[in-house]
Amino acid sequence: MQLSPQQIADFDRDGYLFFPGQFSPEETRTLNAAVPELYSRQEAYNVREKGSQAVRTNFAAHLYSEPFARLARHPRMVEPVQALFGEKLYMHQFKINGKMAFEGDVWQWHQDYGTWLNDDQMPTERAMNVAIFLDEVNAFNGPLMFIPGSHKRGVVDARHDLTTTSYPLWTVDNDLIRQLVARAGGLQGGIVAPTGPAGSMILFHSCLVHASTSNLSPWNRVSVYLSLCAVSNHIRRFKRPEYIAHRDFAPIDCLPDDCLLKPYPVALPWAKGMPASALQTSLDELAAA
Ligand code: SIN
Ligand code: MN
């Protein structure tokens, strides 16, 4: 799949592109079916909601779950991004966010590249976020919200929020959000929240400011978030554990387009458990020095 000139222009202006129903119900079924078992594991890579057992984020499933390893190599997702950057890609981060019915907590307003720069020393913003819905996303189950065009501001001021939720994040303060939303059209389109069936896909710029509210509905909002980084733009610092910020910069080789329907073989390097090295960080080395 290639992006049309119109799609490239829309992405440049708005900072995101939405592809409703990009994957069929048959294609998402196997992915969805694998989630409960992955979430049941008592492992560091499952981050739970504050004061609850509900999983907020599962990290790095593409390294130990076959269906997700195939998704990570899907040409309908990887090829358009590769064409946009004119370069091969590696997987910087892979998450299955739960946002479970009644329990899913907020994600404060933030940019992803802010974190990748501050924590991981990723040199430039040449990394793309991809969201793939495994459940229907509607107005009630905490859809992802964007401020269109906010990526044009580059990296904005942020503060490290260690208290609001169970996951540390560099968040943008309310005054700046007010300004960005006003500039994007205020009540007329200053915030958008793409909704659609399971299998829908969003590509969004790593500087696009985004957030989501809590999920008070009875419907789960499980979505996969992948961050595809241009190989030459790989991170320079290993401050975060490897299951959060990957250190294997090998380019992704795509599988055929029907890879979610057929059992193409895939490597699963963490199938027997996460290596101890994945928990080590450059901070440990500094502490030991
Ligand atoms: C994210 O920004 O990484 C996740 C947001 C969400 O799951 O709503
Ligand atoms: Mn984010």
Q: Which ligand is nearest to the CA of 223?
A: 1
Task: Report residue 17 CA to chain centroid gap.
Answer: 14
Task: Give the CATH number of the domain where residue 245 resides.
Answer: 2.60.120.620
Question: Given pLDDT bands bounded at 50, 70 and 90, which one contains residue 289?
Answer: low
Give the domain range for residue 31: 5-288
Cα atoms found within 13 Å of the Cα of residue 79, Cβ hemisphere only: 11
Cβ(133) – ligand 1 distance below 6 Å: no
Rounded distance between C-alpha atoms, residue 144 and residue 131, angstroms: 9
CB-CB contact of 4 with 138 (8 Å): no
Q: What is the mean pLDDT of the chain?
A: 96
Of residues 169 and 80, more confidently modeled: 80
Question: Given pLDDT bands bounded at 50, 70 and 90, which one contains residue 161?
Answer: confident
pLDDT of residue 284: 74
What integer is the mean pLDDT of 85-108? 97
Rounded distance between C-alpha atoms, residue 155 and residue 113, angstroms: 7
Rounded distance between C-alpha atoms, residue 27 and residue 265, angstroms: 17
pLDDT of residue 283: 76
Checking if the pLDDT of 288 tops 70, the result is: no
- Record the tokens describing residue 226, joined without a space: 């992948």
pLDDT of residue 166: 83
Question: Given pLDDT bands bounded at 50, 70 and 90, which one contains residue 208?
Answer: very high
- Give 285 Cα–ligand 1 centroid separation in angstroms: 30
Cβ(184) – ligand 1 distance below 6 Å: no
Question: Given pLDDT bands bounded at 50, 70 and 90, which one contains residue 286?
Answer: low
Instruction: Encode pLDDT of 36-65 as tens digits.
Output: 999 999 999 999 999 999 999 999 999 999
Q: Which ligand is nearest to the CA of 205?
A: 2
Residue found by looking up tokens 């202006």 in the block: 13
- Give 262 Cα–ligand 2 centroid separation in angstroms: 31
Rounded distance between C-alpha atoms, residue 61 and residue 243, angstroms: 9
Question: Given pLDDT bands bounded at 50, 70 and 90, which one contains residue 165?
Answer: confident
Checking if the pLDDT of 19 tops 90, the result is: yes
Q: Which ligand is nearest to the CA of 170?
A: 2
Q: How many domains does the chain have?
A: 1
Cβ(107) – ligand 1 distance below 6 Å: yes
- Give 137 Cα–ligand 1 centroid separation in angstroms: 13
Q: 37-69: string of b/e by CB count within 10 Å (b at 16+)?
A: ebbeeeeebbbbbeeeebbbbbbbbbbbbbbbb
Model confidence pTM above 0.85: yes
What integer is the mean pLDDT of 113-122? 93
